[in-house]
Structure 1
């Protein structure tokens, strides 16, 4: 009897050890998969940037490689902070109420400071394309609203996780979530940065739809959003025919004309028209690397928000499928990370970071092919810019951190 009992405990112990070993193997494989996909995307983005920027702004090629280096420093530091003996920082510290509150208040302070600084015409907060979204510190430019997307996801993850932990009602959950969206959204819209505000809304909707809310709430939000969206576009299109319509209103009108009537104006739809030409001329396999023509000043600032026009022109539809496939593979591993997490905060944190990346990819590509209005959102990894790289470093660093347990 004693021998049988001893064998039972030994077998149970072996099973537990095997489960732990299998978990560690899965985590290691997932870390490697994430890193491998990121490296491939970085290589593709670097190749594309060299082709896109060498004619107009060759100095941006060097800066792009510097931004990649900054990304890897942030990504590897945050990802492995839990293994550093003196730090032992894991993603779980972000679920602390005081830490979450500090992140929220700091975000408010920064965004409010941007708005006030813009109104005061401070020299280091210039007005660019009608928006006060940048801080110029000598040779360095920072876009706070871009970086604070990670803060927004952290706040939302805490909001939805506490709703699960404390079994809050759905109405209370929606109200709490709307407070975060309202504060961030209003302060970003005050800077006249509609594109970034729309991305915040997309992240919020993604996280809400994937939360514990019942189908009836999701249906209500979807119907309300659809009605407001269609009604808003109709109202904008009507108002755009009047004198004194703003530049953004005319851009939306140009989008509608282009999408439904194939009529892209040279004033407000020129970038989209040239981008569509680029994708169309690229065909199935593209013109070949460095053989694209849109980068020769036909498509202005092609190395930024319309960077994928160069890629589509030179590598074709098949090349675009490869890039989109890599991003969805990255998104898949992020979702698996959240699904296997043992706490609600981790699940929603992974969900939010995945939403942040994949919605930005979808919006950027849809804008480039004329299926969405021009929002001014960069393509992750591919578009030129340091703030977007910092944001990706934080987001993917946290996902890596979750896979080190």
Structure 2
């Protein structure tokens, strides 16, 4: 094999994700330092748990990148999708938590929707490749793709996870659009879907309150924006260069879930506007490398699977940063590879592992 044709993973993408994981360890430790010390009498209580999840995610990413040929995944796409549907139904019946998003299998607790999004993208990429020759046909080309996206996002929505459902829906629609379906077909189904999305965004009282508080932050529902306002205070306190690592004040019970849904605020407070721009740059660089892999993938399955995974992770990061910055209504969504949590970390690492494996098949 010629040197120019040697197979190797996208080292830049690997470096970007590894950097995000390292940043996550630093910020999770900083954002949990106070609460871990006061509640658990151990400053490293959360860090130890997060480190194990990062380590497991890293191992999973490497395993998928090196040993799991993405072309073999195509053969199991239907079975993966069926498994996703079964898990999404099971979590509605046996799910734990106020929003029934968690499923327990023995000692393992995991958020099903985090893994469902990857499973859906695998099956969607498989269907696009299989039906590429009739993609412009509504009945046999477009509708099966839209049905898959609507079904998965709908089941996730029933778990009272509106933001995750919306991200899955938008990412799936983008992938369908990139597949080359007729715009009029897409417009018809989106016009039908839009009222449903609006209905579910206001049908739950807490969602309506968040939306109203976002529209009128100084109104009677200003208390609903408490987290969002505290997040903005954190970003503002950081100034240009930040208050320094480990010196955040918002983590001290001012900002609930500072280590999860609002971790970008702690990062911005400690590393400032410059640090925040650097972190945003990493996510945009991730997006560029992911789309580049999609562009040069050797088959349609690889092209659309890498594009789907890239959009899923990138849009999640944008929504998290948008919420913390006050650009979007308050909601809970973790920052990929940085926020505390296991399900999101493992599922995103699976996605990146597949991305890296697809990049390895490209002749450089």
Q: Which runs of 4+ in 1 moved over 3 A?
A: 136-140, 214-229, 262-267
In the superposition, relative to structure 1, how do residues 67 and 170 fare at CA in structure 2: closer, same or farther (>3 Å)? same
SS in 2 for 1:135: strand
2:8 aligned with 1:38, yes or no?
Answer: no
In 2, distance between residues paired with 1:370 and 1:202? 21
SS in 2 for 1:55: helix
The 10-residue stretch of structure 1 (245-254 or 175-184) with the greater mean CA deviation from structure 2:
245-254
2:94 aligned with 1:108, yes or no?
Answer: no
Structure-2 residue corresponding to 1:127: 97
1:3-402 aligned within 5 A: 20-24=2-6, 28=8, 31-57=10-36, 58=43, 59-81=45-67, 89-96=68-75, 99-117=76-94, 125-128=95-98, 131-136=99-104, 140-164=108-132, 166-172=133-139, 173-216=141-184, 236=202, 246-258=205-217, 263=219, 265-402=221-358
Where structure 1 has 5 or more consecutive residues not aligned to the other structure, the ranges are: 1-16, 82-88, 118-124, 240-244
1:78–1:397 CA contact under 8 A, matched in 2? yes
The 10-residue stretch of structure 1 (210-219 or 70-79) with the greater mean CA deviation from structure 2:
210-219
SS in 1 for 2:224: coil
Residue 226 of structure 1: CA displacement?
7.2
The 10-residue stretch of structure 1 (298-307 or 153-162) with the greater mean CA deviation from structure 2:
153-162
2:114–2:343 CA contact under 8 A, matched in 1? yes
SS in 1 for 2:327: coil
In 1, distance between residues paired with 2:24 and 2:220? 28
2:116–2:152 CA contact under 8 A, matched in 1? no
In 2, distance between residues paired with 1:224 and 1:44? 42
In the superposition, relative to structure 1, how do residues 264 and 66 fare at CA in structure 2: closer, same or farther (>3 Å)? farther
1:264–1:273 CA contact under 8 A, matched in 2? no
Residue 285 of structure 1: CA displacement?
1.8
The normalised TM-score by structure 2 is 0.89
Give 1 or 2 for the bigger CA radius of gyration. Answer: 1
In the superposition, relative to structure 1, how do residues 297 and 277 fare at CA in structure 2: closer, same or farther (>3 Å)? same
Residue 283 of structure 1: CA displacement?
2.0
Residue 223 of structure 1: CA displacement?
7.0
Residue 317 of structure 1: CA displacement?
1.7
2:136–2:182 CA contact under 8 A, matched in 1? no
The normalised TM-score by structure 1 is 0.80
In 1, distance between residues paired with 2:240 and 2:301? 43
Q: CA RMSD in A?
A: 2.5
The 10-residue stretch of structure 1 (65-74 or 267-276) with the greater mean CA deviation from structure 2:
267-276
Aligned residues: 353
Where structure 2 has 5 or more consecutive residues not aligned to the other structure, the ranges are: 37-42
Residue 401 of structure 1: CA displacement?
1.2
Deviation digits for residues 12-39 of structure 1, max 9, x if unmatched?
xxxxx6xx53232xx53x5221221122
1:196–1:375 CA contact under 8 A, matched in 2? no
The 10-residue stretch of structure 1 (168-177 or 105-114) with the greater mean CA deviation from structure 2:
168-177
